[in-house]
Chain A
Amino acid sequence: MPGVKRNRDGAEKSKSKDGDAPTGPFMPMFEVFRGELDEHHDRRERIIKASRDITAASKKCIFSLQRVRALNNDIPPKIASEVMEKSTAMASQFAAIAPDLAGINAWRYQRQISGGIQEYMEAISFEHYLRNQKLITHEEASKLLPEGVELTGDDYVLGIFDLVGELMRFAITTMATTGSLPGSKVGEGSAEERDILMDLRLLRTSFEALDTTSCGGTGLGKDVEKKMEVMKICVEKVETAVYGMIIRGRERPKGWIPDLADDRAPVESY
C-alpha cells in the first residue's frame, strides 16, 4: 500500500484536520505501559539466557564429576579445578541476573530461571554427595546460590530427582571400572560399610513417601510424576547391575560394562 504515511510507531498518519492522531488522549498512558512492558521483556530475556548458560555449565560440571571414582573423599585436583572454573562462571551469571530476580520479581520469573537452577542443584548435590556421601540439605544448597537468588522447594526436589540419574551412572561406571560398588565406612572406627545402592534405595523410599497430590497440575505436581518414573528406573538399573556383578561378576573379564542400551536418553532429557 504505497503512499500511506506512517509514524515511527507504525500508526497511520491521519490526514484529517486533527493531524495529531497518534497523540490521542490515551497516548501518555500507553507510553508508560510501553516502558514497563519493554523493561519486563528485557528482564525476562536476560533471565532466560542466563538460565540456559547456567544449565550448560552445570552439565559440564557433572561430566567432569562423573570421572571421580572414590566416594566420601576429596575431588581429584584436576577435576576440582575444572568444576571450580565452571562454578565461577555460573556465579557471575547468577550475579548478573540477581537484580532482575530481586524482591517481587523472584517469583515473577521463576519459570524462566527454574531450569537453570534445577540443573545447578543437580551439579552441586552431586558434588556434595561425592565429597560427603550425603544428600545436600535445602539450607546448604541455598547457601551455594548467590545472594538474591532464591532456591524454591520445588526446584530443590526436582534437582534431587535428577541427582538419582547421576548417581546411577556414577555407580555403574564405577562398578565397571573398579569391579566394586562405590561406598564408604559409615563413620570413624565403624566397620560398617554404606554403599551407593543403600543410598539410592533410601532416596527412592523418601521420594515415594512424598505426597504431592495436593500440588495438582501446578509446578511440582506436573513434573514429579514423570521424574518419579525415571528415578525408579535408575534405582532398578543399579540393582540389576549389582545383581549381575554378584552372580556373574567373576566370570567376566575386568572392565566389562553392563548393558546400558537405552538408559541415557530418559535421564538427561530436558
Chain B
Amino acid sequence: MASSSAMVDPKIFEQLQTKIDEDAEVRDQIKAIIQTLERQSRNAQSILSRAHSIPAANLQPVLEAAEAAIKDEVESITKLATTTTGSPYYKYNGIWTRDVQNVISTILLCGWLGGISSQGTPDAGRLLTIEEIGQVLNGKLPPQSAMLLLMFPVPVNLKDQDAFHITIEEYLLSLINLIDELARLAINSVTLGDYQRPLQISQFVKDLHAGFQILNLKNDVLRRRSDSIKYSVKKVEDIVYDLSLRNLVPRPAATTT
C-alpha cells in the first residue's frame, strides 16, 4: 500500500481537519457568549414585564432597571462582535440571530415605554429605528471599535464590508415581538385603569401593520411571523371598541377609524 499514498496528498485531509477544528472552536466561543446573552435577555424581559402591572406614571424605576439590564446585553453583543471579527458574518449568524432579536426586542420595548432617551425627554410610544438600535448597541463602545456596524440604510460602503451588524430581518422580527407585547400591554393598561394607552397602542400597531403590508414577503420566517400582526391589531381594536362602547375613551377625537 506504500505506493497508494500518491492518490491522496495527506495534506488535503490534514488541512480539512484543521479547518473543521477551527470552525468548531469559533462556534464554541460564540455559544459560550450566547449562553450569557440568553440569561441577560431573560432578565431584561422579566424586568420589562413589570410594566404590565405598573401604571405608566410610575414606570421610571422599571425603565432604569431595564436600561441597566440592556447595558449587560450590549456588553455581550460587543463580545460577540469582537469574537467573530475574523469570520464571515453570515457563516455563523444563524447561531445568534434569535438572541440578537430578543435583545433588539427588549430595546424596542424599553424605548417605547419611554426609556433609552438620549434627548432627556422620556416620551412613551416611540419607535426606535434600526439606526437608533445600532446606536444603543454602539453607544457603550469606545469610539475606535465601531464593530457594530449597521448594514442598513447606509448600504453603499457597508454592503461590501463583512462585519457584525443588525440585519433588517432581525429588526423586523423584533418589531413583531414588540407588537405582540404591546397587544398584551393594551389589555393590562385597561386593568390598571389607563384608558389612554390602548388608543396610543392601537395607532402605533396599526401604523406598523401598514408598514409590514407594503413589504413583498416571500414564504419565509418573516412572512410566517408577520401573519400574527393582524391578530394583534384585532386584539387591540377590540379593546378600543370595548372602551368606546362604554364611553371610556378619554378623547373622542382620538378614536380609531
Contact = CB atoms under 8 A, between A and B. Distances in A.
Contact of B4 (A16, A32, A199, A210): A199
Interface string A24-63: 1111011111101110010000000000000000000000
Interface stretch (B50-58, B61-69, B204-212, B239-247): B204-212
Nearest to B130: A29
A108 B20 contact: no
B32 interface: no
B4 A34 contact: no
B interface bracket (residues with beta carbon within 8 Å of A): 35 or more
A194 interface: yes
Contact of A34 (B3, B12, B215): B215
B161 interface: yes
B257 A9 contact: no
A102 B160 contact: yes
Contact of A29 (B20, B211, B257): B211
A68 to B, nearest CB: 17
A27 B6 contact: no
B21 interface: yes
A157 B21 contact: no
Contacts of A187: 6
A216 B11 CA distance: 24
A211 B195 CA distance: 62
Contact of B91 (A38, A107, A212, A220): A107
A151 B198 CA distance: 54
Interface majority SS (helix, strand, loop, mixed), chain A: helix
A107 B88 contact: yes
A11 B213 contact: yes
A30 B175 CA distance: 12
Given A37-B168, A104-B89, A104-B90, A24 B210 contact: yes
A104 B16 CA distance: 23
B94 to A, nearest CB: 8
Interface residues of A, number: 57
Interface stretch (A129-137, A168-176, A255-263): A129-137
A21 B6 CA distance: 72
Contact of A194 (B7, B9, B16): B7
A215 interface: yes
Contact of A206 (B13, B90, B127, B211): B13
Contact of A201 (B4, B90, B207): B4
B89 A214 contact: no
Interface of B: 1, 3-9, 11-13, 15-17, 19-21, 23-24, 27, 88-91, 94, 127, 129-130, 152-153, 155, 159-163, 168-169, 172, 206-208, 210-218, 222, 257
Interface of A: 9-11, 14-16, 21-22, 24-27, 29-34, 36-38, 41, 102-108, 110, 133-135, 137-138, 153, 156-157, 186-187, 192, 194, 198-199, 201-203, 206, 209-212, 214-216, 218, 220
